[in-house]
Structure 1
Amino acid sequence: MNTLWRLVATGPMTPLREAADRLEDADPAPALSWSCFEDGAPDRGRLDILFAEQPRVDDLLETIGLDADDPAIEVDFGPLPEEDWVRLSLEGLKPVEAGRFVVHGAHEKENIPSGKLAIEIEAGPAFGTGHHGTTKGCLIACDRLEREGLEPASVLDLGCGTGVLAIAAAMVWPDARIVASDIDPEAVTETGVNADKNGVLDRIDAFAADGFQHDKLDARFDLIFANILAGPLQDLAVQLADRLTQTGKTVLSGLLEEQIGAVEEAYAKAGLRIEHTDIIEGWAILTLGR
């Protein structure tokens, strides 16, 4: 195996989270893998980046918007011993608690607190391991809606990524019809793998679709999760409202706190109003109804 290189940045969570988002948006990806997670406190973070080849560190830091001279941010860089790279990359994916759910990797299966609903999701190409505030917030909303007495006959996870929200819905609403769609066929495949791993493969109908452009999405749902981005959320407002039953709820995320107003306006025009707002690490999670 060739030598891998590792950069670790620790400091305030906000700039590290923004750096991780820039890595996510970069094309081509400048690193082999990366993870950003809390480091002892909600406002403290750690960004772990692995490289297949030695990078130009100054150029990379500039690209992701980190200032190596900032005394609040500590940057450590060097080669990673071959025997350690898998262990260290897994250490960055600690279990994430969201309401009664715990999203975890296989390496943490034995460490799940009793009384929790465990969802096993490995880090992969699709979005949704629970470590991002939007996914965590949607899981918290799912838990809250079930506790409030929502009993959907049908649930849609629009832009399903890893399928974590569809899997959560299948766990708390065993009689519901669960549909999951994503524009990326690779995400649909991963949703199937994860659904099988969590014992709900026969409960989830997953397929590729661009927005609502699929025959199976020409239906009404009692609950719709849409963890995508602010722009697409606004573009899909009328279609999403049309697919929601009269008493249905939708959980929207993928938008920043400062984007709430624009998204709220689009959905108000479509006949939906915000009933609950969660803010996690600057990301907004909106629960809406008619």
Structure 2
Amino acid sequence: MSWKVTAHAPRPVVEGALLLHEDAFDWDPEIVIAGSEIAEDKPEDWVLEAWLPRKPRKADLAAIAALFVDGAPELATEKLPDADWVTLSQQDVVPIRAGRFHVHTPEYPALDEPGVIDFTVPASQAFGTGQHATTAGCLAMLDAMKQRGTVVRNGLDVGTGTGLLAFAALSLWPRMLATASDIDTVCVPVVEDNAQANGIALGGRAGQLAMTVADGLDHPLIAARGPYDLVIANILAGPLIALAPDFARALVPGGSLVLAGLLTTQERAVRSACQRHGLRLAARLVNGDWSILWLRRRAVR
């Protein structure tokens, strides 16, 4: 049995609710949240949708309503036909192009074009199909770094979700020693399945991906495999600021840090935190309301 809760609101309101949801450490993992615009000709009219495997309880509705800090819009509930409720939450995800990358769900074909790197990522409980502007922006930034001659021998993807950004880095630097981590244990089987589907070898050697569960960079495996030429973190502005000293310590002099998950309005605070620890901006791009930053650790002179 699957149920859906729907709330209509202006784009900034829904985006704010999504940010609060990502910061809610006690969120019920059985409630999957997504937000999107209603129609292309009305880009400011958005809808927040929540999928549940049960009829919503008062506590469920209260948790969803609490995501709207200035008062929740009307919440509509409906029973859905029997189906995979997680897949329903992402079934409308269309393929994207970001740099040389093409990311799509299994319902769409791969692109038969020279130079295209294709990844198939099904709908799952872990975020990261590439549809989100921050993930697409990270893919484009990694591609730009490769084109500018960046060399990566040892890389780390923090908050990996589906593993997509780690896969992308491995495709660009196929002999790198690759590590991926996430705070959520549900990501481990997701990454393993996606790695198999995309021909990514799992393991601890060069050209393989090692996956672990960790809070930020606090894990013996992450410490033992460092320092890194490249660290990727597509999470949230608050954790990015808090982790700035850890990022700096984890990087070799001259190493690269790719940050995403921050709104353009949060960029100054994130950059200031990184600058205090010797991380300097190399490039930035903006995708919608989101900033993607490439920073480098100051080289030893």
Aligned to 1:114: 113
Contact 1:126/1:161 (<8 A) preserved: yes
Contact 2:9/2:73 (<8 A) preserved: no
Shift of 1:80: 2.6
Aligned to 1:35: 34
Using the TM superposition, name which of 202-211 and 171-180 deviates more: 202-211
Relative to structure 1, the CA distance from residue 41 to residue 84 in structure 2 (aligned partners, 3 Å threshold; closer, same or farther) is farther
Matched, 1:288 2:291: no
Relative to structure 1, the CA distance from residue 193 to residue 50 in structure 2 (aligned partners, 3 Å threshold; closer, same or farther) is same
Secondary structure in 1 aligned to 2:283?
Answer: strand
Matched, 1:63 2:66: yes
Aligned to 2:280: 273
Shift of 1:204: 0.6
**Structure 2 CA distance for aligned equivalents of residues 148 and 282 of structure 1:** 25
* TM-score of the two chains, using structure 2 as the length reference: 0.78
Q: Which residues in structure 2 correspond to 1:166-177 (within 5 Å)?
A: 166-177=166-177
Quick one: which amino acid aligns to residue 283 of structure 2? H
Relative to structure 1, the CA distance from residue 148 to residue 6 in structure 2 (aligned partners, 3 Å threshold; closer, same or farther) is same
Using the TM superposition, name which of 252-261 and 4-13 deviates more: 4-13
Shift of 1:157: 0.7
Aligned to 1:50: 51
**Structure 2 CA distance for aligned equivalents of residues 83 and 189 of structure 1:** 21
**Residue ranges of structure 2 left out of the alignment (5+ in a row):** 203-207
Which of residues 241, 251, 257 is equivalent to 1:234? 241
Contact 2:126/2:187 (<8 A) preserved: yes
Q: Deviations over 1:54-80 (max 9, x none)?
A: 447986774342534xxxxxx875333
**Structure 2 CA distance for aligned equivalents of residues 18 and 252 of structure 1:** 20
Q: Deviations over 1:154-203 (max 9, x none)?
A: 11112222211101111121122211122333323322222122101242
Matched, 1:248 2:251: no
Which of residues 13, 16, 23 is equivalent to 1:15? 13
Shift of 1:145: 0.9
Aligned to 2:145: 145
**Structure 1 CA distance for aligned equivalents of residues 217 and 27 of structure 2:** 28
Shift of 1:137: 1.7
Secondary structure in 2 aligned to 1:245?
Answer: strand
Shift of 1:12: 4.6
**Structure 2 CA distance for aligned equivalents of residues 107 and 16 of structure 1:** 27
**Structure 1 CA distance for aligned equivalents of residues 9 and 113 of structure 2:** 32
Shift of 1:225: 0.4
Relative to structure 1, the CA distance from residue 176 to residue 81 in structure 2 (aligned partners, 3 Å threshold; closer, same or farther) is same
Quick one: which amino acid aligns to residue 114 of structure 1? E
Relative to structure 1, the CA distance from residue 265 to residue 140 in structure 2 (aligned partners, 3 Å threshold; closer, same or farther) is same
Quick one: which amino acid aligns to residue 51 of structure 1? L
* TM-score of the two chains, using structure 1 as the length reference: 0.81
Aligned to 2:228: 221
Tell me the number of residue pairs that the alignment of Structure 1 and Structure 2 aligns.
281
**Residue ranges of structure 1 left out of the alignment (5+ in a row):** 69-74
Secondary structure in 2 aligned to 1:43?
Answer: strand
Aligned to 1:71: none
Moved over 6 A (4+): 83-87
Using the TM superposition, name which of 88-97 and 193-202 deviates more: 88-97
**Structure 2 CA distance for aligned equivalents of residues 126 and 84 of structure 1:** 15
Using the TM superposition, name which of 93-102 and 148-157 deviates more: 93-102
Shift of 1:272: 1.3
Matched, 1:188 2:188: yes
Shift of 1:148: 1.6
Relative to structure 1, the CA distance from residue 224 to residue 87 in structure 2 (aligned partners, 3 Å threshold; closer, same or farther) is closer
Shift of 1:7: 4.3
Aligned to 2:91: 91
Shift of 1:13: 3.4
Secondary structure in 1 aligned to 2:192?
Answer: helix
Using the TM superposition, name which of 15-24 and 138-147 deviates more: 15-24
Relative to structure 1, the CA distance from residue 100 to residue 288 in structure 2 (aligned partners, 3 Å threshold; closer, same or farther) is same
**Structure 1 CA distance for aligned equivalents of residues 185 and 83 of structure 2:** 33
Contact 2:7/2:73 (<8 A) preserved: no
Contact 1:5/1:78 (<8 A) preserved: yes
Using the TM superposition, name which of 157-166 and 43-52 deviates more: 43-52
Relative to structure 1, the CA distance from residue 212 to residue 84 in structure 2 (aligned partners, 3 Å threshold; closer, same or farther) is closer
Contact 1:34/1:49 (<8 A) preserved: yes
Q: Deviations over 1:23-57 (max 9, x none)?
A: 44554439743333454369354544333444479
Contact 1:157/1:226 (<8 A) preserved: yes
